[in-house]
């Protein structure tokens, strides 16, 4: 093990996407979203994993001239181990979204079950355009018919932590995305 690597909760984390890399991508994604000229935009992060990405992205959107309001939705998916399974809605919001443009934000698009569940729910509530931003895309894991409109990085097929994402509730606070060092 590299002795210079700091231990966090007794583990060392290999950096996959640095704080600087993420900040650059966020700025570009915000510009891409601004180009869609969203109207009466509602930003909707899916908790918990996307909270840091969403906090950074909404401020980049502000710099790109996009105003928005924010609601949160919390989802859990129960499956075997780290696989995504049955989707449950843990926290909902009650504002009227009829005709509104929505930016749905998640940390990782993997099987796609989570984002498809939420997108379908928003459609039944009469949302206008629904845009999806995912920090990471594990395209090789896709099961549902869904893609993100805006992606930070395509992600290798590894379990990642940091920048909001956890392993057993730990590591969300890391300012970068990394992989637990074996
Ligand atoms: P899916 O697209 O429904 O399969 O699930 C995506 C969700 O699973 C994400 O919102 C994450 O919360 C979680 N997830 C998937 N891969 C990882 C990972 O590598 N680290 C942490 N959470 C992950
Ligand atoms: Mg999640």
Q: Which residue has a Cα nearest atom 9 of ligand 1?
A: 108
What's the pLDDT at 8?
Answer: 86
Ligand 1 and 118: CB distance under 6 A: no
Which-ligand-closest: CA of 90? 2
Q: Which of 51, 78, 81, 110 to mutate to test the pocket of ligand 1 (most atoms within 8 A of CB)?
A: 110
Q: Is the CB of 107 under 6 A from ligand 1?
A: yes
Q: What does the pLDDT read at residue 82? A: 64
Q: Which ligand is nearest to the CA of 73?
A: 2
Write b or e for each residue in 68-82: b if 16 or more Cβ atoms lie within 10 A of its Cβ, otherwise e. Answer: beeebbebeeeeeee
DSSP H stretches of helix in the chain: 19-35, 51-63, 113-124
Active site residue 110: yes
**Cβ of residue 165 lying under 6 Å from some atom of ligand 1:** yes
Q: From 50, 84, 137, give the residue whose CB has the most ligand 1 atoms within 8 Å, as the site to mutate.
A: 84
CB 38 within 8 A of CB 101: yes
DSSP 8-state assignment for residue 140: G
Q: Whose CA is nearest to atom 10 of ligand 1?
A: 108
Q: How far is CA 86 from CA 120, 129, 180, in A?
A: 15, 26, 26
Atom of ligand 1 nearest to the CA of 116: 3
pLDDT at residue 77 in the model: 83
Q: Residue 26, class by beta-carbon neighbours within 10 Å (0-12 exposed, 13-18 middle, 19+ buried)?
A: buried
CA 108 to ligand 1: nearest atom: 9
Q: Which residue reads 């502000």 in tokens?
A: 62
pTM over 0.85: yes
The list of the chain residues with pLDDT below 50 reads 1
């Amino acid at each position: 093990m590299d002795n210079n690597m700091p231990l966090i909760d007794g583990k060392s984390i290999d950096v996959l996407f640095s704080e600087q890399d993420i900040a650059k991508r966020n700025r570009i994604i915000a510009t891409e979203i601004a180009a869609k000229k969203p109207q009466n935009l509602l930003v909707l992060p899916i908790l918990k994993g996307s909270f840091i990405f969403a906090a950074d992205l909404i401020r980049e959107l502000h710099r790109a001239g996009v105003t928005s309001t924010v609601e949160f939705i919390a989802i859990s998916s129960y499956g075997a181990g780290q696989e995504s399974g049955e989707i449950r809605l843990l926290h909902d919001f009650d504002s009227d979204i009829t005709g509104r443009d929505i930016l749905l934000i998640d940390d990782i698009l993997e099987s796609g079950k989570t984002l498809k569940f939420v997108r379908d729910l928003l459609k039944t509530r009469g949302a206008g355009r629904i845009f999806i931003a995912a920090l990471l895309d594990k395209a090789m894991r896709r099961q549902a018919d869904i893609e993100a409109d805006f992606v930070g990085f395509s992600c290798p097929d590894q379990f990642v932590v940091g920048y909001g994402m956890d392993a057993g509730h730990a590591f969300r606070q890391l300012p970068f995305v990394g992989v637990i060092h074996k």
